[in-house]
Chain A
């Protein structure tokens, strides 16, 4: 089953399959809206999952017309660059400062 999910997500055998809670949380965020934004959120969700699995240092969600961000984004501890430009974001959760930066303290 785990191998099947890996293949579905395009992961190699050494990569971690996202935990259910992570994916469920993202899916719940996608399901909050309908229509055009639901499509954008699905695209964003895929990017976020990919970034998490690859331990990417950068993530671009620009020009997706997002009105909010999923809290899960802040658990991407390897991120150094986050591009959220050209969206319709109304609020930024405080979680941004509480999680994803701790690995990258500057001296």
Chain B
């Protein structure tokens, strides 16, 4: 037996360690087994399986560390606030982000260097989400894409959420664009690795390892001065890609991203606005302005769809459904175009304003330096 999926068996209370004496097992899913008792014997067996490179997906209530439990509770509280503030039903779970964090804090801990280091890369992101629970809206979308595979998927997902969170936390547009380099380098890592590995299972391992290496390189070169959030440290199953991750390979990638890193803020902004991140960028940085566009859109959408329904009485149901979907798509595309344009304008305007005031500040500073220097010369002359 290589893959055993026992997830979502909510009556399962006990699994004896002997039952899991499966030497060939490479993937064991125990997620959402809410009544399964974490007996010491079972935990030991699961730990042993992980040591043998078997992926274990633990039930959500399994506890490994009190700080990790606190981090998970903290996210649940943030989700509760988010739901309250947005009138979302309490029963509607923010399940993807919480599951991602649970997996990030429970899987392959030993292989990843222990819980302490992992927790360090959790706290800053949680603090940012705590300041504005509405960030969970986009975080939830990101998390969805990183729940399928082994532990390296949640690690990559948490890194991407953290990259976006650091953009949210940056106080100025210039700093947001500087923070966005993490996100854009992340994209380049994915492209670079998928070119080599295709859709291979080790793709994400390679991606996480390459991101870590290039991050260290950029810090040591002084290209970035502030470490990026949640860049993976030790990576589970890194052995599977270590033959590929040579210093030459890292340098090759480093050279490839040089043009990206050299971009001026206004170029970086345009690059970002053209990327797949445009909508999330808008949601992070201009939530109120986007709400002002989205509310009338929703009203208009509801109105036009109602009109269509009334007009289509008695028509063929299948043709109607197809037409309905087409109308929805057109409306969504129209809205996306309006939203993208608004995000672009807001980004450009804010950046231009910051750059003007920054230039004015530089001139003022230069003038002040000059005045001080002149005063010093005058003082020296007087004293002579």
CB pair A85–B29 under 8 Å, yes or no, is yes
Give Cα distance in the complex from A93 to B19, angstroms: 7
B4 interfacial by beta-carbon distance below 8 Å: yes
The minimal Cβ–Cβ distance linking B17 to chain A, given in whole angstroms, is 9
A12 interfacial by beta-carbon distance below 8 Å: no
Give Cα distance in the complex from A84 to B28, angstroms: 11
CB pair B8–A85 under 8 Å, yes or no, is yes
The minimal Cβ–Cβ distance linking B121 to chain A, given in whole angstroms, is 30
Q: Which residues of B sit under 8 angstroms from A101, Cβ to Cβ?
A: 1, 21-25
Q: How large is the interface on A (under 10, 10 to 19, 20 to 34, 35 or more residues)?
A: 20 to 34
The answer to whether residues A87 and B4 also contact, given A94-B16, A97-B18, A97-B22 and a CB cut-off of 8 A, is: no
- Within B59-116, the residues touching A (CB, 8 Å) are none
The residue on A at minimum CB distance from B53 is A106
A62 interfacial by beta-carbon distance below 8 Å: yes
Give Cα distance in the complex from A76 to B149, angstroms: 26
Cβ 8 A contact of B24, one of A84, A96, A104: A104
Q: Which residues of B sit under 8 angstroms from A83, Cβ to Cβ?
A: 5
Cβ 8 A contact of B22, one of A62, A89, A90, A96: A96
The answer to whether residues A84 and B6 also contact, given A93-B19, A104-B24 and a CB cut-off of 8 A, is: yes
Could you mark each residue 23-53 of chain B with 1 if its beta carbon is under 8 Å from any beta carbon of chain A, else 0?
1111001000000000000000000000010
Residue among B2, B7, B20 having the largest count of chain A Cβ atoms under 10 Å:
B2
The answer to whether residues A82 and B24 also contact, given A90-B13, A94-B18, A97-B19 and a CB cut-off of 8 A, is: no
A91 interfacial by beta-carbon distance below 8 Å: yes
What are 14 A-B pairs with beta-carbon distances under 8 A? A67-B11, A80-B3, A82-B5, A85-B6, A86-B9, A88-B10, A89-B9, A90-B11, A92-B6, A96-B1, A97-B19, A97-B21, A104-B24, A106-B23
Residues of chain B touching chain A, judged by Cβ–Cβ distance below 8 Å, are 1-16, 18-26, 29, 52
Residues of chain A touching chain B, judged by Cβ–Cβ distance below 8 Å, are 62, 67, 79-94, 96-97, 100-101, 104-106
Top 8 closest A-B pairs, CB basis?
A97-B21, A104-B24, A81-B3, A83-B5, A80-B2, A86-B8, A88-B11, A85-B7
